[in-house]
Structure 1
Amino acid sequence: MHTLAASNTTTNLFSLPMYDLHRADTVALGSVLKALFSARGIIATHVWPPPDLLMHWQEDALLLSQTCGYPLVTQLDKVQTVGCFHYQAPGCEGIGYRSFLVTREEESGKTLGDFRGQRAVCNAIESQSGYNALRKMVAALSGGGRFFAAVEFSGSHRQSLVALRQDRADIAAIDCVTWALLQRHQPDLLEGLTIIGQSPLTPGLPLITSASTSATHLALLRESLQQLVSDAQYQQVCAAALIGGFAAVTREDYALLLEWRDEAAASGVVDL
C-alpha cells in the first residue's frame, strides 16, 4: 500500500450526498473511508454538503464526492472522475444502473406510451435518472411534440414518490438504487406504487475529485476505494449501502448521457 509522508497535514473534504437515505449507514461508510484515507497519509473531513451541491462539487478542497452523471458532462467540466461503485440492486449491472418508471398500482397494466397527455414528476432538470432518462424514452413516442401535459419538479426522488402517492403526478423515473434503499428503509413510501418499465443501462453515479487533486492522490483514492470493496472487514458497511464493487472510470464513459440528450433534441424533444 502506498502512503504519503506523515507530515502531510492538508485537510481535504469528502461527502456522500447522493444515496444518503439512511444517515447511520452513510456515517459508517464515511468513517471507513476517512480511516482508509488516513492510512495513506490523507487527512480528510467528512462533510454534509450545503444545499448548493454544484458549488460544493467544484471546491478546490474537494477530495471525494459522488455526483450525478448528467451534471458531470454538462456542468462539472473541471472536476476529475475517480470511479464508480457497483451497486447490488435490481436494475444494476457492473457500474451500470437504470431508472424505473413508477406509477400508482391502479395503472399497472399501462406502458409509457399510455401516459401521453398526463403529468410527470421529476426530481430535477439536471438529473440523469429522473429527467434525461425519461426524456430519452418519451422522445421515441412524442412525434416531435410535447408528450406530457405537465411536468412538476419535486427536488428529490423521494418527493417525486410522494407526489405520485398524493395524485399530484402520474409517472416518474426513479433511480433504481434509490428505489432499493427505500424498499429497505422506508417501504411505506412505496405502498400503492408499482414499476411499469425501465430505462436502458447507463454508467452509475460517478465519484469525483477536485481538478487540483494530484495524480498521486487520485491513485490513492482509487486504492482506498478498492480496499473498501475488497476487504472482508468492510463487507457489512458496503452491504448496508448496497455497494458490491468499484471500478475506475473516465469522463468519456459518460458521453452516452449527452448522446441521449442530443438524440432527444434531434427528435424535437428538448424539454419534457
Structure 2
Amino acid sequence: MTRLVASLGMYDHPTQQPANDRIWSAIVRILRIRGIEGVPDVLDRGRHVHDLWRDPNLVFGQACGYPLIADDSLALQVIALPIYNMPGFTSSDATHASVLVARANDGRRSLVDYRDTRAAINDPQSNTGMNLFRATLAPIAETNVFFASVVQTGSHRASVAATAAGDVDIAAIDAVTYATLVRHEPDLTAPLRIVARSPASPTLPFVTSAETSIETIVALQHALQQVMTDPRLTDDRAMLGLAGIVTANADTLAPIRALERTAIRFGYPDLR
C-alpha cells in the first residue's frame, strides 16, 4: 500500500501548528471512514512545501496559486479554496490580497514615494509576495523599473523582519500571514504600517497530486466541508482564520493569470 503524505505548511505559524494538527486528524478520520487507504496520521513538516508539491504521493496540501499557473511542471489538482476571516482581514468569499508594508516612521506618504527604494519579496513565484506586488505597482510604475533593488528573503516573515529592521523599505505580505504575525508576534510588526493593499485574487488553494483519484478528491472535499462545520473544531478554525471553503478546480485561478497579463500590458512585466 502506498504511503501518502500531507502538508498544511503555508499557514503553519508555531502557534497554529496544534490547530492544523487537529484539523488534519479530523480529516484523516473522515477519509478512513470513506475507505481511503494510506492516509498519514501526521502532517509532513520535515520537507519544504515546494518539495512536497512535487511528491506524487501528496494526498493533501496547500499551494501558492501563482506557481500553479506559471509552472507547467507542477502536477497538482486544485480541490478547494479556503475562505478566511481574521482580525484585520476579512473576506466574504475565497479571495485575499497582499498588504504592502513599510516602516511607520520612514517619512513617505504614498506608494509612489517608494520609487527608487529597496523592496523585498519572499519568492519570485509567490502570488502574494511578487505577483500581487507587481499588479499593485504596474499602474504607477511608468517604466519597467520601479525599485533601486529587490531582494529575495525566502519567507513572508523574513520580509517583514527585513522591513522592520531597515534592511529594505517595502514588502508585499500575504494578508492572512500578516494578520497572524500581528496577532502572535506584535513586536515584529509594531514598527510597520500598511502603505497599500493589492488587488484581490483567489486564496491559496487546497491541492492534491495529479496522481490522486477522483474518488479520493471527492472524499477530501467532503472531509473539508465537514471540518468547516464541526463544532469541536471551532477554536481551531478561529486560530487559523478559517471561515469556510468552496470547491474549486484549476480554472478558479484564472484571475491570477489576468493580474499578470495586466501588469505586462502596463509595461511592467517583472517586479524590479
TM over 0.5: yes
Q: Percent identity?
A: 32
**Paired residue for 2:59?**
63
CA contact (8 A) 2:65 2:256 kept: yes
**Paired residue for 1:83?**
80
Alignment partner of 1:29 is 2:23? yes
Counterparts of 1:6-155 in structure 2 under 5 Å? 10-22=2-14, 23-42=17-36, 43-45=38-40, 46-51=43-48, 53-75=49-71, 77-89=74-86, 90-107=89-106, 110-155=109-154
2:113 aligned counterpart, secondary structure: helix
CA contact (8 A) 2:138 2:268 kept: yes
**Structure 1: which amino acid aligns with 2:244?**
G
> What residue ranges of structure 2 are gaps of 5+ in the alignment?
none
CA apart distance, 1:49: 4.8
**Paired residue for 1:4?**
none
**Paired residue for 1:221?**
220
CA apart distance, 1:259: 1.7
**Paired residue for 1:3?**
none
2:66 aligned counterpart, secondary structure: helix
**Structure 2: which amino acid aligns with 1:62?**
L
**Paired residue for 1:157?**
156
> What residue ranges of structure 1 are gaps of 5+ in the alignment?
1-8
1:44 aligned counterpart, secondary structure: coil
**Paired residue for 1:6?**
none
Residue-by-residue CA offset, 1:48-84 (whole Å, 9 max, x unaligned) = 1513x33321222110100001011112553111101
Distance (Å, rounded) in 2 between the aligned partners of 1:246 and 1:267: 34
2:39 aligned counterpart, secondary structure: strand
Once structures 1 and 2 are overlaid, which stretch shifts more, 105-114 or 227-236?
105-114
CA apart distance, 1:91: 4.8
**Structure 2: which amino acid aligns with 1:235?**
T
Distance (Å, rounded) in 2 between the aligned partners of 1:81 and 1:181: 24
Counterparts of 1:212-251 in structure 2 under 5 Å? 212-251=211-250
CA contact (8 A) 1:91 1:176 kept: no
Counterparts of 1:189-200 in structure 2 under 5 Å? 189-200=188-199
CA apart distance, 1:260: 1.5
CA apart distance, 1:33: 2.4
CA contact (8 A) 2:117 2:148 kept: yes
Distance (Å, rounded) in 2 between the aligned partners of 1:108 and 1:68: 33
CA apart distance, 1:248: 0.6
**Paired residue for 2:254?**
255
- What TM-score comes out, normalization by structure 2 length? 0.91
Distance (Å, rounded) in 1 between the aligned partners of 2:191 and 2:241: 24
**Structure 2: which amino acid aligns with 1:252?**
D
**Structure 2: which amino acid aligns with 1:74?**
A
CA contact (8 A) 2:144 2:270 kept: no
2:228 aligned counterpart, secondary structure: helix
CA contact (8 A) 1:108 1:196 kept: no
How many residue pairs end up in the alignment? Answer: 263
**Structure 1: which amino acid aligns with 2:23?**
L
Residue-by-residue CA offset, 1:80-129 (whole Å, 9 max, x unaligned) = 11101111121533110010111111147622111111111111100000
Distance (Å, rounded) in 2 between the aligned partners of 1:223 and 1:115: 46
